[in-house]
Amino acid sequence: MKKNAVAKGLVPDCGESATDDILYIVQLLQSHRYREAEAAAAQALAHHPTGNHHALLHSLKGQALANQSAFEEALACFQVGKPCDIGAVESCVMEAVCWLHLECPEAALECCDRALACHPDYAQGWLFRGVALHRLGRYREAYQCYQQSAPEDSPPRSLLQRIQHWWQGRSSQA
């Protein structure tokens, strides 16, 4: 599993134990075991204080903290390194979510813009960019972002998407 993740570029090749730690933390996060993931990330950072995995470990710790509503602590973790890979993009969007919870939509918008600059097709980046714009009262731009967040051929899922779908159909009939 580890070799496949390294080969696909999902996890940096940073030695046996650091890569194993990263994969373990990811499994904890995917299992919604956020306290354990936070502890494992802190322990991994103590064991591996430097190297090309350092920013990723901080990002994983930040994700664990954000999922426990410790938004300010999570933000401190996200500030460590900003490489332009998918892990960093996810961290930028998670950082945006923290800023939104802390009622700072301008900062959230900046994070989403940073994520989308690296990966312009990242749906979550568009979604939370829309939320930030909505909170700033920039509704037209927000709705454009919401549309970018879902493929055109996908059926509307959320209430907002269903309303938009209905409104667009109504507008095209007029």
Q: Which amino acid is at 25?
A: I
**Whole-angstrom distance, CA of residue 160 vs CA of residue 167:** 10
Q: Does residue 98 contact residue 74 with C-beta atoms inside 8 Å?
A: yes
pLDDT at 16 over 80: no
Is 116 a domain residue?
yes
Q: What is the pTM of this model?
A: 0.69
Is 101 a domain residue?
no
Number of domain units in the chain: 2
Is 171 a domain residue?
no
Question: Does the CA dihedral 104-160-142-137 come out positive or negative?
Answer: negative
Domain boundary among 81, 96, 126: 81
Q: Residue 30 is part of which domain span? A: 1-81
For the segment 108-154, what is each residue's pLDDT rounded down to a tens digit? 999 999 999 988 989 999 999 999 999 999 999 999 999 998 766 55
Is 173 a domain residue?
no
- Could you tell me if 131 and 56 lie in one domain? no
- Could you tell me if 63 and 4 lie in one domain? yes
Grouping H, G, I as helix, E, B as strand and the rest as coil, residue 82 is: coil
**Whole-angstrom distance, CA of residue 153 vs CA of residue 106:** 31
For the segment 142-170, what is each residue's pLDDT rounded down to a tens digit? 999 999 987 665 554 555 555 555 556 65
**Rounded mean pLDDT of the chain?**
80
- Could you tell me if 71 and 124 lie in one domain? no
The residue among 98 and 157 whose pLDDT is bigger is 98
